C-alpha cells in the first residue's frame, strides 16, 4: 500500500471511530486512537519530504477510484504527490500530531473530549485532501471540508454565545470567498474543458492574452480566472476585506487556534495560489492584485496587533500579517519564498499559540495580558518556548551567517519583492519593512507584559475565582508578590513536549532548508511543482547590502521601543496612546471594519429578512397558503354544518329537489 493512502485515510478512520464511539469508547481510547493515527501519518510524511529534499523522490499520482464521468467532465479521485504536496504533508501532519498531544493536557477537564479529538482528526483529513488534490473539484472538497471542521471547532463550546457567533461568522465570511473560488473553478472548466490541475497548468501559458465574455464585456481570460480563484484564497487566508472572521475564531479552544488559524487551514489560500502559479503568472494584473492585497494586509494586521490586550488576538493578527508576506512573495513571482515562509511559519506560529495556551492554562483561562506579569520565574519552560517563537517570528539572525526560521524565510520574501523591480514589488517591500518593525514591537510587547514586570494577577477575576475556590477547598494559602496566595503552575508534560519540538523547528527549520527552498541551482527540489523565475532568484542574491540588513535594523528598533515602553518607562505607552487618541482608537477598534460591515451588510440583511418574513411569509404565503386554506375549510365547514339540521323533513326535501333536478336534466337532454 502506498504511504500516501495511509497518511490521508488514517485521520478519517480515527475521526469516524472516535466520533461515533464517543463516550462509549471513553476519553482515553479516543485520544489514543486519534493521536496515534496522526503520529503515524506524520512519521510517514517526513520520509516523503526528505526524499524530495535529497533529490531522490519524483512526482507521482495514486488513483483511488473513478469519481465523476458526465459528458466532457471526467476526473478520478487521485492523490498527487510532488514537492509542493510533500511540504504541506509535513506541515499539516506534524502540527496536527503535536496539537493532538498538547490537547491531552489542555482539554483534560473538558467533558466532551472524544468529540473534540474527532473534530481535530476530521479537519486533518480535509486538509490532506486539499493538498493532495489532483483536480480542482477534489481541492474544493478539501477546501469546504476544512471550512466545516473550522466551524465545528470554533463553535466547540456551543453553549457559549460568543463561540457560536464566531463560528457562524467564520462560516459566512468564508462563503463569500468560496463563491469566488467556485466561479473560478467553473470558469476554468469552461475555458480548458477539464478540471485536472496538471492539464490546466500545461495549457495555461497558451491562453495568455485571450479574452472571455464576462459581466457584459470582454476581459482578459487568465486575469478573470486568477482573480476569481484569488478571492477564494482571500477568504480562506483572511486577507484584507475577508479577514474579519480570523480574530473572532479565537473563541475556540487554544489548540484549535494553533492548528487551524495559525499553521494549516489559513495557508490553504497560499498553497492554492502557489499550486496554480503558472495560471497566475500569465496575468501581470492578477499578480499585482495578489501583491497589493498581501502588502496591504500585512501592514493593516500588524498595526492592530500593536494595540490588542488579548494574548490570542495579538497572535491572530500576527497570523493575518504573516499570510500577507506569503502573498507578496507569490505575487512578485517567488512562490518558493512563499512556501518557505509557510513552512517555517507553521512551526513558530503554532509554537506561539500553544505557548499562549500554556500561559492561559497557568492563569486559569485569563487571556488579558494586563493581568499577567513576572511569569518567567513561575513557568520557565513555557517562557523559553515562547522566547524561541518570538526570536523566530521577529527574524533574529546575522546576515550571511546564521539565524532563526523567520530570519531566512521573511528576509527572502523582502529580497524577492525588492528584486522584482516592479511598482507592486516595491510597495510590498516597504510595507513588509514597516510591518517587520511592528511585528518586532508587538511580539516583544507580548513577552514583556507576560513574563517581565511585577505580577498583576490579583486584578484578574479568573485568578481571584481560582484563589477563592482554593481557599474554601484547602484552607487559606499565603503567597508572595501580592497575588493573594496564587502560584501559577507549569503545564503538564503532554503540553510541554509539543512546545519543545516546535521550538526546535522554530530555531533550525530555516537554517536547514533555506538552500532547497530559495537557491537557484536546486531544480531537483521543486521539480516543476511551482513556476518561478531563475533570473529573479539570481537578483535576490544580488540585492544591495542595506536591503539585507534592513529587516535586522527594524527588528532591533521594535525591540528597543517595546523595552522602553514596557520595561524602562511603563507609563509611556498610555501617554503616547493619549497623545494620538484618534489614531489609537481607530487602530484599537480594528479600523472599524466590523462596524462598517455591520452597517453595510448585516443590518440591511436583517432589515430585508424582516421585511420578507413579515410581508412575504406572513402577508402573502401564510395568508393565501396555509392560513388561507384553513380559513376556506373553516368557512366551508361552518356552511356545511348549517345544512345538517337533524330533521327528517329537511333531508326529504333535499332528496326531492335532487330527484326533480335529475329528471329535468334527463328530459331536457
- Encode pLDDT of 429-447 as tens digits: 999 999 999 999 999 999 9
Angle between helices 405-419 and 380-393 in degrees, nearest 10: 10
**78-81, long-range: CB < 8 A, 24+ apart:** 78/134, 78/135, 78/138, 79/4, 79/5, 79/8, 79/132, 79/134, 80/132, 80/133, 80/134, 80/197, 80/198, 81/4, 81/48, 81/132
Mean pLDDT value across residues 633-640 = 84
Query: 97: closest CA among 78, 77, 82, 117?
Result: 117
Predicted confidence (pLDDT) at residue 233 exceeds the cutoff of 60: yes
Mean pLDDT of the residues in the chain: 87
Q: What's the rounded Cα separation, in Å, for the pair 122 and 119?
A: 5
pLDDT at 469: 63
Binned at pLDDT 50, 70 and 90, residue 478 comes out as: very low
Residue of higher predicted confidence among 121 and 614: 121
Predicted confidence (pLDDT) at residue 500 exceeds the cutoff of 70: yes
Mean pLDDT value across residues 134-155 = 91
Of 32-36, 67-71, 181-185, 639-643, the range with the lowest mean pLDDT is: 639-643
Binned at pLDDT 50, 70 and 90, residue 474 comes out as: very low
Give the tens place of pLDDT for each residue, 375-431: 888 889 999 999 999 999 998 888 777 888 888 999 999 999 999 889 999 999 999
Predicted confidence (pLDDT) at residue 467 exceeds the cutoff of 70: no
- Alpha helices by DSSP H, listed for 564-647, are 572-579, 581-588, 593-597, 603-611, 623-624, 626-643
pLDDT at 332: 92
Binned at pLDDT 50, 70 and 90, residue 479 comes out as: very low
Distance of CA 617 to the CA centre of its chain: 37
Strand 73-81 versus strand 211-214 pairing type: unpaired
Q: What's the rounded Cα separation, in Å, for the pair 332 and 290?
A: 8
Predicted confidence (pLDDT) at residue 485 exceeds the cutoff of 80: no
Residue of higher predicted confidence among 473 and 383: 383
Helix (H) or strand (E) segment spanning residue 323: helix 311-331
Predicted confidence (pLDDT) at residue 347 exceeds the cutoff of 50: yes
Predicted confidence (pLDDT) at residue 477 exceeds the cutoff of 50: no
pLDDT at 40: 95
Binned at pLDDT 50, 70 and 90, residue 159 comes out as: confident
Grid cell, residue 382, equals 513555557
Residue of higher predicted confidence among 525 and 464: 525
Amino acid at each position: 500500500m502506498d504511504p500516501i493512502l495511509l497518511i490521508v485515510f488514517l485521520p478519517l478512520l480515527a475521526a469516524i471511530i472516535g466520533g461515533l464511539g464517543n463516550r462509549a469508547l471513553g476519553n482515553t481510547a479516543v485520544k489514543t486512537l486519534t493521536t496515534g493515527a496522526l503520529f503515524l501519518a506524520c512519521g510517514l510524511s517526513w520520509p516523503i519530504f526528505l526524499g524530495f529534499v535529497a533529490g531522490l523522490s519524483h512526482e507521482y499520482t495514486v488513483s483511488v477510484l473513478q469519481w465523476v464521468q458526465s459528458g466532457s467532465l471526467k476526473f478520478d479521485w487521485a492523490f498527487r504527490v510532488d514537492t509542493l504536496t510533500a511540504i504541506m504533508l509535513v506541515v499539516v501532519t506534524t502540527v496536527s500530531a503535536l496539537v493532538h498531544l498538547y490537547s491531552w493536557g489542555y482539554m483534560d477537564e473538558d467533558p466532551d473530549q472524544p468529540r473534540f479529538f474527532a473534530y481535530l482528526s476530521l479537519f486533518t483529513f480535509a486538509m490532506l485532501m486539499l493538498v493532495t488534490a489532483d483536480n480542482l473539484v477534489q481541492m474544493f472538497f478539501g477546501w469546504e471540508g476544512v471550512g466545516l471542521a473550522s466551524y465545528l471547532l470554533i463553535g466547540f463550546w456551543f453553549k457559549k454565545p460568543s463561540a457560536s457567533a464566531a463560528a457562524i461568522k467564520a462560516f459566512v465570511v468564508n462563503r463569500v470567498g468560496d463563491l469566488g473560488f467556485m466561479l473560478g473553478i467553473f470558469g476554468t472548466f469552461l475555458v480548458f474543458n477539464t478540471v485536472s490541475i496538471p492539464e490546466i497548468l500545461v495549457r495555461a501559458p497558451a491562453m495568455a492574452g485571450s479574452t472571455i465574455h464576462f459581466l457584459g464585456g470582454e476581459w482578459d481570460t487568465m486575469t478573470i480566472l486568477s482573480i476569481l480563484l484569488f478571492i477564494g484564497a482571500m477568504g480562506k487566508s483572511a486577507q484584507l476585506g475577508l479577514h474579519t472572521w480570523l480574530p473572532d475564531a479565537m473563541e475556540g479552544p487554544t489548540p484549535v487556534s494553533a492548528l487551524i488559524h495559525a499553521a494549516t487551514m489559513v495557508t490553504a489560500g497560499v498553497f492554492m495560489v502557489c499550486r496554480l502559479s503558472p495560471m497566475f503568472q500569465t496575468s501581470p494584473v492578477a499578480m499585482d492584485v495578489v501583491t497589493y492585497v498581501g502588502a496591504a494586509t500585512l501592514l493593516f494586521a500588524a498595526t492592530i496587533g500593536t494595540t490588542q490586550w488579548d494574548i490570542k488576538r495579538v497572535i491572530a493578527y500576527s497570523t493575518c500579517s504573516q499570510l500577507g508576506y506569503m502573498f507578496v512573495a507569490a505575487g512578485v513571482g517567488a512562490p518558493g519564498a512563499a512556501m518557505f515562509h509557510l513552512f517555517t511559519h507553521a512551526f513558530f506560529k503554532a509554537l506561539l499559540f500553544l505557548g499562549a495556551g500554556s500561559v492561559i492554562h497557568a492563569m486559569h483561562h485569563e487571556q488579558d495580558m494586563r493581568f499577567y506579569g513576572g511569569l518567567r520565574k513561575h513557568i520557565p519552560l513555557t517562557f523559553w518556548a515562547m522566547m524561541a517563537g518570538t526570536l523566530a517570528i521577529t527574524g533574529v539572525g546575522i546576515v550571511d551567517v546564521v539565524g532563526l526560521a523567520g530570519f531566512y524565510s521573511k528576509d527572502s520574501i523582502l529580497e524577492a519583492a525588492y528584486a522584482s523591480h516592479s511598482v507592486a514589488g516595491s510597495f510590498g517591500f516597504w510595507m513588509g519593512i514597516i510591518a517587520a518593525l511592528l511585528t518586532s514591537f508587538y511580539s516583544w510587547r507580548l513577552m514583556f507584559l507576560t513574563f517581565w514586570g511585577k505580577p498583576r494577577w490579583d486584578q484578574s477575576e479568573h485568578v481571584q475565582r481560582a484563589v477563592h475556590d482554593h481557599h474554601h477547598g484547602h484552607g487559606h494559602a499565603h503567597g508572595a508578590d501580592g497575588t493573594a496566595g496564587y502560584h501559577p503552575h507549569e503545564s503538564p508534560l503532554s503540553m510541554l513536549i509539543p512546545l519543545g519540538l516546535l521550538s526546535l523547528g522554530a530555531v533550525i527549520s530555516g537554517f536547514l532548508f533555506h538552500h532547497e527552498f530559495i537557491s537557484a541551482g536546486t531544480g531537483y527540489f521543486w521539480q516543476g511543482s511551482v513556476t518561478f523565475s531563475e533570473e529573479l532568484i539570481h537578483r535576490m542574491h544580488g540585492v544591495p547590502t542595506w536591503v539585507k540588513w534592513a529587516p535586522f535594523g527594524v527588528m532591533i528598533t521594535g525591540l528597543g521601543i517595546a523595552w522602553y515602553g514596557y520595561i524602562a518607562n511603563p507609563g509611556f505607552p498610555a501617554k503616547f496612546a493619549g497623545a494620538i487618541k484618534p489614531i489609537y482608537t481607530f487602530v484599537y477598534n480594528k479600523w472599524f471594519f466590523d462596524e462598517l460591515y455591520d452597517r453595510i451588510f448585516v443590518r440591511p440583511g436583517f432589515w430585508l429578512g424582516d421585511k420578507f418574513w413579515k410581508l412575504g411569509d406572513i402577508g402573502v404565503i401564510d395568508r393565501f397558503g396555509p392560513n388561507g386554506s384553513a380559513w376556506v375549510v373553516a368557512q366551508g365547514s361552518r356552511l356545511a354544518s348549517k345544512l345538517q339540521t337533524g330533521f327528517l323533513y329537511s333531508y326529504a326535501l333535499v332528496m326531492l329537489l335532487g330527484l326533480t333536478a335529475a329528471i329535468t336534466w334527463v328530459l331536457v337532454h
